[in-house]
């Protein structure tokens, strides 16, 4: 059973009541939902875009496993791109502007450049460990970007995706 409660403002306060579900503020729910949606979009993108990328690698006589062994920097960058592109697409669909998309893309790509630097410098050679570090850094970077611009992520964007649809010509 859902715990729906209403927090009433003080008698002398002009504020409207804030409705809560399970004690969580609506803005917090929006932020958590948005974060979860972006993570899902990233991992779906990695799976969906990774398949044709694997086919492309196969057509030139390579594979993801060979790439991670022979050219880990290329593999890391390809993975970051296959995760960032669908995330940006989803954010645009949900009504976020280019500034928010650019910041969130930077939160994804900058840790990858750092990981590439670690590989190039010979600091970390275990690609599995590097992937874990890269992904954790990406997730933390996304969270930091969201918390720095909480107003962008704590409210609905009024189904702005409808504005992206072409409008019918006037008769």
Inside any domain, residue 106: yes
Query: By the 8 A CB rule, do 124 and 133 touch?
Result: yes
pLDDT digits (tens, 9 = 90+) for 43-70: 898 888 888 888 888 888 887 778 778 8
Residue 57's domain comprises: 25-155
CA angle 84, 86, 92 (to 5 degrees): 100
Inside any domain, residue 134: yes
Inside any domain, residue 117: yes
Inside any domain, residue 143: yes
User: What distance lies between CA 54 and its chain's CA centroid?
Assistant: 22
Residue 20 reports pLDDT greater than 90: no
Inside any domain, residue 99: yes
Q: How many domains does one find in the chain?
A: 1
Inside any domain, residue 20: no
Which residues are CB-contacts of 79 (< 8 A; sequence separation ≥ 6)?
A: 46, 50, 112, 131
Please give the share of the chain, as a percent, with pLDDT higher than 70.
78
- What's this model's pTM, rounded to 2 decimal places? 0.71
pLDDT digits (tens, 9 = 90+) for 121-148: 999 888 889 999 999 999 999 999 999 9
Query: By the 8 A CB rule, do 127 and 8 touch?
Result: no
Inside any domain, residue 6: no
Inside any domain, residue 1: no
């Amino acid at each position: 059973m859902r715990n729906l409660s209403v927090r009433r403002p003080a008698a002398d306060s002009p504020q409207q009541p804030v409705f809560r579900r399970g004690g969580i503020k609506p803005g917090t729910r929006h932020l958590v939902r948005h974060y979860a949606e972006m993570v899902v979009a990233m991992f779906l993108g990695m799976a969906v875009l990774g398949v044709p990328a694997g086919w492309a690698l196969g057509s030139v006589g390579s594979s993801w496993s060979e790439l991670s062994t022979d050219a880990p920097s290329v593999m890391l960058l390809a993975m970051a791109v296959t995760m960032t592109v669908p995330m940006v697409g989803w954010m645009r669909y949900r009504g976020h502007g280019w500034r928010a998309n650019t910041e969130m893309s930077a939160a994804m790509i900058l840790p990858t450049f750092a990981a590439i630097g670690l590989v190039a410098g010979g600091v970390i050679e275990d690609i599995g460990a590097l992937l874990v570090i890269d992904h954790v850094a990406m997730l933390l970077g996304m969270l930091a970007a969201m918390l720095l611009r909480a107003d962008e992520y704590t409210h609905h964007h009024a189904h702005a995706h409808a504005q992206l649809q072409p409008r019918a010509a006037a008769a």
